Amino acid sequence: MRIAIFMVLMAIGMTGFAQRVTLKVTDATLQAVFKEIRKQTAYDFLYNEKLLENLKPVNVHLKDVSIEQALDACFSGLPLKYTIADQVVMISAKDTVVQAVQKLYTISGMVRDQRGQPLPGAAVYVSNYKIATVADGQGNYVLKGLLPGNYTILVQMIGFLPASQSAIIVDRSTEFDVAMEEMVHELNEVVVRPDYFRPYRLNVFKDSFLGTSKNARKCEILNPEVIQFDYDPVRHILKATATDFITIENKSLGYRVQYLLDYFEKDEETNFVRFYGYPYFEELEPIVAKRKRYAEKRRMAYAGSPQHFFRSLYNNVNEPEGFVINKMIKVRNAKRLADSHIDKRIKFYSESLRKKIKVRHANDSLDYWIKMKTEPDTLEVLVRKEISADSLIKEKLLPLMTMKFKDALYIVYKGEKESSDFRRYPEFKINRPEDLSRYQISLVYQLTQSVSFYENGGIYDPGSLLYEGVWAYKKVGDMLPMDYVVTEK
């Protein structure tokens, strides 16, 4: 039975809000309607402004209807259609696909304290990228060179708690201010008790957060003092928080990563690890010899990764890129009998042994029925029929694509063999037929109604997926920025 399951979220999806809508508008523009719906539901809208030009105004009176009913009424008689995925309403022209917009945009604004005063010198990063800037003397910042997409902006300033804020770029630049909360140092006397388990828990955290691969072993957390632990001895769950960005030096891939940890939890009984946060990447030493070494290590880390897979899937080149997509389905275990019948047989043979009643093969029979109790209700079966990208993708509304699937995707990457290092950790191993014995294999589970992703391989809501296998084995120590470009050897 596989027990090594890993979920890592690089950004937080939007929290749920009520999805009922009340509208009473006359001669309103669609932009105004979208703004009102967003106010009531917290759903975002993705569309090209040109789609809404010269359309007739909207006149609707609706009370306590679903967002779908509201949009159907607003789009009545208009040449538009919509798709909803991960609390984003994507608008396109009927019977057409919106073309990708290659224009670059900016995110700008001001960094302030809670009193509204500007904070010059604040560091402003784009999570998952190598894009950053510093606020000027008036606290203003500008982040340039951004394609349409979903971003998280990170802000760091000495004396203040780290801040993060989400931003969506559709077809225009956006701006917003970031308010930072001052770090308060308690002066009251406190009793400090030594944590004798901290070294052990820190090692567990490093293995679960950075990973155990060759790249992960070359990583060093430079400021472990910002990490705090909370252990539940009853449930055997380890939680971690951080009072500041965790600074990671990856000497294998050549990055210094500033990671704003939002959540970390490890269940020691099931080996289930779940964490999410916001990483920012910056280059290490610009020495030519090391650059070549870093480039090769990065190519190897990228090959077969989720980022590589979703980029390939987006462009429908997953097969040429070395990926084979199958399915792992669950079927009823014919050997597994009803619990009532098993319990009855266990009771019978237990009583026979206790009363020393001679029953033929009593011990063997008792062992058999006890073992039967542990038989799973269902079995996983690999379906070797290859799944095409076209059958997975349900919506092509650029810059997002949306896919839906049942059961689990069984992803085989034939571009590289499983490393000997990976085989040291059998808990990550995925069962496979003999002809796939050495290939890299991962299982992907869908946790939401649909999964949307961008051309750069980024998932709109990383919480929509759960990984097992190689993708669960590789963690922050093998992570690359979303703007990583594969270079020639």
Residue 15 confidence (pLDDT): 37
Count of positions (residues) in the chain: 489
Asked, for residue 128, whether it belongs to a domain, the answer is yes
> Domain check: are 87 and 109 in the same one?
no
Structure tokens that stand for 285 in this block = 């030493």
Beta bridge partners of 364: none
Structure tokens that stand for 290 in this block = 């090391």
Lowest mean pLDDT among 133-142, 335-344, 440-449: 335-344
Asked, for residue 443, whether it belongs to a domain, the answer is no
Is 48 a residue whose pLDDT tops 80? Answer: no
Q: Are 240 and 212 in contact (CB under 8 A)?
A: no
Asked, for residue 156, whether it belongs to a domain, the answer is yes
> Domain check: are 238 and 156 in the same one?
no
> Domain check: are 77 and 159 in the same one?
no
Please give the Cα distance from 124 to 160 (Å, whole number). Answer: 13
Is 132 a residue whose pLDDT tops 60? Answer: yes
Provide the pairing of β-strand 408-417 with 400-403. unpaired
pLDDT tens for 374-413 read 777 667 889 999 999 989 998 777 778 899 998 999 999 9
What's the pTM value of the predicted model, to 2 decimals? Answer: 0.73
pLDDT class for 359, splitting at 50, 70, 90?
low
Asked, for residue 49, whether it belongs to a domain, the answer is yes
pLDDT class for 193, splitting at 50, 70, 90?
low
Please give the Cα distance from 263 to 230 (Å, whole number). Answer: 12
b/e map 180-190, b = 16+ CB within 10 Å: beeeeeeeeee
Residue 99 confidence (pLDDT): 44
> Domain check: are 82 and 137 in the same one?
no
Lowest mean pLDDT among 79-83, 153-157, 246-250, 382-386: 79-83
- Beta-carbon contacts of 111 under 8 Å, excluding residues fewer than 6 positions away, are 118, 119, 122, 124, 135, 139, 141, 155, 157, 177, 178, 180
> Domain check: are 203 and 278 in the same one?
yes
Integer-rounded Cα radius of gyration of the chain? 27
pLDDT tens for 96-107 read 444 444 578 999
Lowest mean pLDDT among 84-88, 157-161, 246-250, 471-475: 84-88
> Domain check: are 199 and 287 in the same one?
yes
pLDDT tens for 385-394 read 999 998 999 8
Alpha carbon distances (Å) from 152 to 132, 164, 172: 12, 7, 17
Residue 489 confidence (pLDDT): 54
Please give the Cα distance from 309 to 201 (Å, whole number). Answer: 33
Q: Are 208 and 266 in contact (CB under 8 A)?
A: yes
Is 86 a residue whose pLDDT tops 70? Answer: no
Structure tokens that stand for 73 in this block = 């009424």
Asked, for residue 390, whether it belongs to a domain, the answer is no
Average pLDDT for residues 12-31, to the nearest whole number?
71
Number of domains in the chain: 4
pLDDT class for 11, splitting at 50, 70, 90?
very low
pLDDT class for 187, splitting at 50, 70, 90?
very low
Beta bridge partners of 51: none
Is 287 a residue whose pLDDT tops 90? Answer: no
* 423-432: long-range pairs with CB below 8 Å, 24+: 425/4, 425/212, 425/473, 427/2, 427/3, 427/4, 427/271, 428/2, 428/4, 428/468, 428/469, 428/470, 428/472, 428/473, 429/2, 429/469, 430/2, 430/468, 430/469, 431/380, 431/382, 432/382
> Domain check: are 160 and 214 in the same one?
no
> Domain check: are 264 and 343 in the same one?
no
Please give the Cα distance from 77 to 308 (Å, whole number). Answer: 41
Which CATH number goes with the domain that contains 89?
A: 3.55.50.30
Please give the Cα distance from 153 to 461 (Å, whole number). Answer: 16
pLDDT class for 6, splitting at 50, 70, 90?
low
Is 47 a residue whose pLDDT tops 70? Answer: yes
Residue 113 confidence (pLDDT): 94
Residue 387 confidence (pLDDT): 93
Provide the pairing of β-strand 132-134 with 123-126. antiparallel
Is 77 a residue whose pLDDT tops 70? Answer: yes
Please give the Cα distance from 104 to 125 (Å, whole number). Answer: 17
Asked, for residue 404, whether it belongs to a domain, the answer is no
> Domain check: are 208 and 176 in the same one?
no
Which CATH number goes with the domain that contains 158?
A: 2.60.40.1120
> Domain check: are 204 and 235 in the same one?
yes
Domain C-terminal end among 374, 397, 428: 374
> Domain check: are 24 and 79 in the same one?
yes
Place of tokens 């480039």: 295
Which residue range forms the structural domain that includes residue 155? Answer: 105-180
Residue 301 confidence (pLDDT): 95
Is 13 a residue whose pLDDT tops 70? Answer: no
Asked, for residue 484, whether it belongs to a domain, the answer is no
Residue 106 confidence (pLDDT): 94
Asked, for residue 114, whether it belongs to a domain, the answer is yes
> Domain check: are 111 and 75 in the same one?
no
